[in-house]
A and B are shown apart, each in its own frame.
Chain A
């Protein structure tokens, strides 16, 4: 089931496309069968877009389309059918023969996985590294002298101030999502606003007690840049 441009299909959000068909709500399927015993559970709920459970699963096979590990057969090339098949839905062009050497990492232009970041794609690298956020109240435990990412782009306008603990910014906050809204896009949609009308902050009980805040009260959230 794919979206068509002839008006016969409807999709509010392409991430849900294919999850509701004539067969009903595929997300509500609760099939607990796992014939391959690889933990694939093909009939449990729905994995967008095509119900494949492991990405880049062609990489589990060698150049001839034979699984590296015979005890863990995810997908493989079927010579008779001239197609990739398997216990999981192949994340690959189904009819691309192994001899064509199409790379399994189909989302990378080079078709292979990366151990390191190529130049021009990211400013830092080549290996991943743990850095603290720029406004972190603590020093990086791994290397305190370079707490945050050295190549992050810092703007130089009046608004680009960074708060420190000495200045009083001693509470770590994080933003997150709500079921009832889509970011702030739905701020003006009456249905969403009815469900969650106002922005709110969830504060741990101990911190709330220390700050003398009770649930339902108005609070002011301030950063070095605004409030």
Chain B
């Protein structure tokens, strides 16, 4: 990414840090700054607004349940593209903010191959190469990037309709837009699960911006090492000897 982008991001991060704050307590590490948290929740908000307004238009049997939320059928259809634009805008900023830590590395390919370990719960600690973001997070990030691109193009075609783009363009966009939504929705279920009950200690990362050291050495050992300089496995063993456990 160009330095202009970096400067923009740095300025944005600095501005938001001035407006907000991130309290890092003893035994904690700074995870996400104010700017990141702000963007994440704006993206989440617009995602759900677009999702629910879209559900109403997606299937007739969902129509009755979801359109009243937005004031009826025509208004749902009217608002949906604007929500979508908001999503694309804020995620665009998030993309600029996160493109560096989200770059794919060989460690991530290895991580994906060992997906079974993550799902099966056999291995309690993440592999030592796992950095700020693990392979799954990066995969989802890039999926949203691709999905947003599809949304934007197909969404504009659907918004301006057959008069501007022709019948076949609209008919195909209809399909691609929906497929993108369904894939992203599946991903979001997993995302929400792993960010909340699936991995306790993760939610505060995006609420307060700070995480416990134990969380860090368990789930992002390479990042922990980078930030603290200590070996994650050793730190974990020390805590075990001292009898320091994370509360349930």
A and B touch in the complex (CB under 8 A): no
Residues of A at the B interface (CB closer than 8 Å) are none
Binding site for A on B (CB under 8 A): none
